[in-house]
Amino acid sequence: MSLTDPVANYLTLIRNALQAKHQKVDIPCSRLLTEMTRILKEEGYIANFKTIDEGSKRFLRVYLRYGPRGERVISGLQRISRPGCRVYASKRRIPSVLGNLGISILTTPKGVITGSRARREGVGGEVLCYIW
């Protein structure tokens, strides 16, 4: 578990749970990861999520979503901006993922939002990850 990069840890936990066909995965909770999970829920990539308190620790329980024949809804997750190499996008250069079939998640002055919403609102920010 990487303490220096919680977003990479988050994406890896989800990727591994999908690979193993788990129904849910527990992820250490933070405000950033909660917002990213909220976006995944709104965009239809996960079924649901909730916050769980276990003593002094808080977890996000993420319920993964699969198609009717058991196929994964999320086929790929990619970390873009890392602690060693931050990647920023201006409002004019917000990337599209697989010809708008996927989403990019950005941290902006208006909060954690998708790339398409950032384009609509005319803000740029740090590109955290791509999900498709």
6-64 topology per CATH: Ribosomal Protein S8; Chain: A, domain 1 (3.30.1370)
Are 65 and 37 a contacting pair, CB within 8 Å?
Answer: no
Q: Output the pLDDT for position 104.
A: 95
93 — pLDDT class (breaks 50, 70, 90):
confident
The tokens describing 2, both together, are 């990487």
Q: Output the pLDDT for position 2.
A: 54
Region 44-71: mean pLDDT is 93
Fold agreement between 6-64 and 77-131 = no
- Per DSSP, helices labelled H in the chain are 6-19, 31-42, 115-121
> Which of the following CATH numbers is that of domain 77-131: 3.40.50.150, 3.30.1490.10, 3.20.20.20, 3.90.45.10?
3.30.1490.10
Greatest extent of the chain over all pairs of C-alpha atoms, in Å: 45
Tell me the three state secondary structure of residue 27. strand
Q: Which residues of 79-94 are buried (b: 16+ CB within 10 A; e: fewer)?
A: bbbeeeeeeebeeeeb
Are 109 and 118 a contacting pair, CB within 8 Å?
Answer: no
49 — pLDDT class (breaks 50, 70, 90):
very high
Region 88-116: mean pLDDT is 91
Q: What is the pTM of this model?
A: 0.90
Look at the alpha carbons of 44, 45, 48, 54 in this order and tell me if their dihedral is positive or negative: negative
Q: Distance (Å, rounded) from C-alpha 13 to C-alpha 19? A: 10
Domain ranges of the chain: 6-64, 77-131
